[in-house]
Structure 1
Amino acid sequence: MKTRYLGRTGLRVSELCLGTMTFGGAADEKESASIMNRYAEEGGNFLDTADVYGRGRSEEIVGAWLKGKRRENFVVATKVRGAMGEGPNDIGLSRKHIRAAVAASLRRLGTDYIDLYQVHAWDPATPLEETLSTLHDLVREGLVRYIGASNFRAWQLMKAIGICRERGWEEFVCLQPQYSLLCRATEYELLPLCASEGIGVIPWSPLRGGWLSGKFRRGMEKPPENTRVGDSPELWSRWNTETTWAIIDTVQEIASETGRTPAQVSLNWLLSRDEITAPIIGARCVEQLEDNMGASGWSLTADQVERLNRVSETPVSYPYDQAAELQQRRGRERA
């Protein structure tokens, strides 16, 4: 598996990141270890977890697997923000909660440092300076190597960057947003911002909860059982639309042309984007992992990428439509 630099840092990570949200839930500890073993066999080095995954159980499973291995060979990422208890300070991005959370994550992971420590979401109740200064201190103390954000809006991310630059604090080097063929609003502002500021991008839900995995085809009356969509009627009713099926049809066509699976086509489309560092792939079993890892090591043609772009293009409104029109006009004038 190839590696890429994480944003403008000197840290190299696998172009597919292994997400561990299923660990301790859909995948028991034995299956989770098998998934990590197989991922590592293919040269994977980037593991993403969070303290709220199974209330710490995912971190414990990752930590148990890391024992006896060369810790420096792996880039371990985790997150903080969600509720980890019933107390008023067991949630959020206050200095108190971050300090308690990082200590607990280090203990569960069985390590003395975290490679990438990410805030899981914006916390409107805590001053941003309090959060950022605490993260800066964690890096200075050697408990954390790099910091990142997840689920931030563009203005929130840029505000954080501006404060850090003004104060001389450690900056976010990575963003973890939702992004896929079925979720392209991330392109409006977040991806251009990350490209401009040299921030790595590791998208979550690159298969949109399984919709792009090949399990679903036009004409189905209901989703297959024992799938994420099948377990959630809301997900089925929300995404069972003509737009979704048109995208899936195109993915299926290209999968037939390339001899690849729909999941591999959908993930490879993400890998074709210059702004993307590493999509986060999740798996309930080794077989799902094998399918997802097959997205690496080959490339869609320019025509196939364009077809996927065209069918999944999201209509935009002001001011994005005006910006696109001006860009097209400039292109015509230069021609």
Structure 2
Amino acid sequence: MTTSQQQIQELLTEMDTLFTDFYSWLAGQYDPASGGFYYAQSSFEIENFIPDIESTAQALNILARSGLSNSLPEPMKQEIVTFFQKKQDPVTGYFYDADPNMRKDEVMVMRGLGYSTGSLRRLGSAPQYPLPHESQARPDYLKTPETYVAWLQDVDLRNSWRGCDFMGTPNHHIAKMEEAERKQFIAAGQAYFASIQDPETGFWGEGNRYIRISGTFKLSAFYTHFEVPLPNVERIYETILQCLREDEARDMCWIRNPIDLLGTFGHVLTIPQEELAEIIQITIANMRKLLRADGGFSREIHQSPPAPNVAQVKEGEFYPYMPIPVPIGKGRIEGDMNAGTQALLIREFCHKLAGVEHQPLHPLTDTFIQTIQAHY
């Protein structure tokens, strides 16, 4: 084992120490009465509020990544199934939280659909009513590849993060098309995205480097979903490395997204071991800044945002498609589910980049099961 490989192994061990109290925090977010997981401790204090779709689905993702899915008590599994089934609108087929503002944000609506159907499938269950793609026509802008590209051209990319996320909303419709038609839409999207990619950085849209990395991460879903090669991967890597070295990561998304991009497309790169060690070291330092006394992680460096569908915007930054906030916490310095699921993803992708088999955090995970079993 080389010096760099030894250093990487030591860094991965150091990263594990950040999760010492994480599973105690996670168990404390579960609400047996609703079958859902709360976003943060302060969420319990919001009057007439029950857990939300995203936080509950993210908790299930954490449990799966932690090797705990098969250890959940059967009554708990049924409670969670019922939680998601009650969220489905029998008329539209979509899954909604109680806050009516969620329905006004297309990105949140599509996430709610994906999170809910995926969670029910993971639990061996299914929605109670037909899903939107089974009962509703596709949007008018997807009539032809040309109308699709025209719609993409109108997307505001002055904030890469939000704009690229918005450009990905048609992906689920395209995936449902017949193969011949789907190929035409994929080719049209691929050509358009290539035409607007910055050849110097490999990024799309505008904003600071972390915002552009986050936008590129969002847009990369098109490439992974449709198995299309991501262009200019080498330039993306070089710009990510510069950003990690020079810029402040003040959001867990900004810590996760570059690692996720490298983990997803790293197979087409040759990352020097000394640079990988540096990347992991910087990542650990950034994660430590967001680790909280309750054992969880905050989304943002100064707080857990009260409405995670709205990014905290610094003066001088632009954020298009700003939805009306959907509050699910009180904005305290505390752990939140969004940051927690991203922290574990970071751990997994760092292992992948290092060529080390990813294993759940036993025996720390035992704490979760022991706490949950006390409910039953």
Q: TM-score, normalised by structure 2?
A: 0.23
Q: Which has the higher strand share?
A: 1
* Larger relative contact order (Cα-Cα within 8 Å, sequence gap ≥ 6): 2
